[in-house]
């Protein structure tokens, strides 16, 4: 049976490709998502994509994923990584694997990015491999579920 994976991207990630390309790379979110969709098929995974600049909308999506009994979540919460107890609390509802991903290596950057409020509640974290990190997250998910 095909497993369903939710991909969630948080604030400013809709601007990928234009936003600080020296840090986040030149691919747009649409390009990253279409590569992911292409690679998901042979892995037997069906992907749902969601991006929002709004904390509450991300929380509502996680609640929807809880109600739909999603099989896995890959999330780049953007700056909410460092601030959002509310997204952390929402993710705690889920019992499926959760991969936290960051394009940049958050531990090599400003001190305020070193703390992830999710790191201790997710299955694992990928940080610093650019867009390829999403593919790594997908492969890890395929292996886990
Ligand atoms: C990010 C890292 C965050 O610190 C930053 O606020 C982002 C993107 C990353 O993918 O490297 O928006 O999550």
Pocket of ligand 1 (CB under 6 A): 12, 76, 78-79, 81, 102-104, 106, 113
pLDDT tens string 19-52:
999 999 999 999 999 999 999 999 999 999 999 9
Kindly give the number of the ligand 1 atom that is closest to the alpha carbon of 24.
Answer: 11
Q: How far apart are the first and last CA of the chain?
A: 11
**Best probe residue, ligand 1, of 11, 14, 27, 104 (max atoms within 8 Å of C-beta):** 104
Name the pLDDT band for 135 (thresholds 50, 70, 90). very high
- Residue 50's CB is within 10 A of a number of other CB atoms, namely 18
Query: In this prediction, what percent of the chain has a pLDDT beyond 70?
Result: 100
Active site residues: 24, 102
Atom of ligand 1 nearest to the CA of 113: 4
- C-alpha of residue 72 to centroid of ligand 1, in Å: 21
Alpha helices in 1-145 (DSSP H): 21-24, 29-40, 55-67, 85-91, 132-144
What does the pLDDT average to over 131-145? Answer: 97
Task: Give the CA distances from residue 17 to residues 20, 33, 76, 118, 126, in Å, rounded to whole numbers and listed in that order.
Answer: 8, 13, 16, 25, 20
Identify the pLDDT of residue 47: 98
Dihedral sign computed on CA atoms, order 50, 101, 70, 67? negative
Residue 1 has pLDDT above 90, yes or no: no
Give the distance (Å) from ligand 1 centre to CA of residue 77: 7
Each residue of 69-95: pLDDT tens digit?
999 999 999 999 999 999 999 999 999
Q: Are 101 and 137 in contact (CB under 8 A)?
A: yes
Atom of ligand 1 nearest to the CA of 13: 12
pLDDT digits (tens, 9 = 90+) for 44-69: 999 999 999 999 999 999 999 999 99
Write down the pTM of the prediction: 0.97
Residue 19 and residue 12 in contact, taking contact as beta carbons nearer than 8 Å: yes
């Amino acid at each position: 049976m095909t497993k369903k994976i939710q991909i969630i991207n948080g604030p400013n990630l809709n601007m990928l490709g234009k936003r600080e390309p020296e840090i986040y790379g030149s691919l747009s979110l649409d390009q990253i998502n279409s590569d992911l969709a292409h690679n998901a098929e042979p892995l037997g995974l069906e992907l749902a994509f969601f991006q929002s600049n709004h904390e509450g909308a991300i929380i509502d999506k996680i609640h929807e994923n809880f109600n739909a009994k999603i099989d896995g979540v890959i999330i780049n919460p953007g700056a909410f990584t460092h601030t959002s107890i509310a997204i952390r609390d929402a993710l705690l509802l889920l019992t499926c694997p959760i991969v936290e991903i960051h394009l940049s290596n958050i531990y090599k950057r400003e001190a305020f990015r070193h703390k992830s409020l999710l790191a201790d509640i997710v299955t694992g974290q990928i940080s610093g491999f650019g867009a390829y990190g999403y593919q790594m997250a997908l492969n890890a998910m395929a292996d886990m579920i």
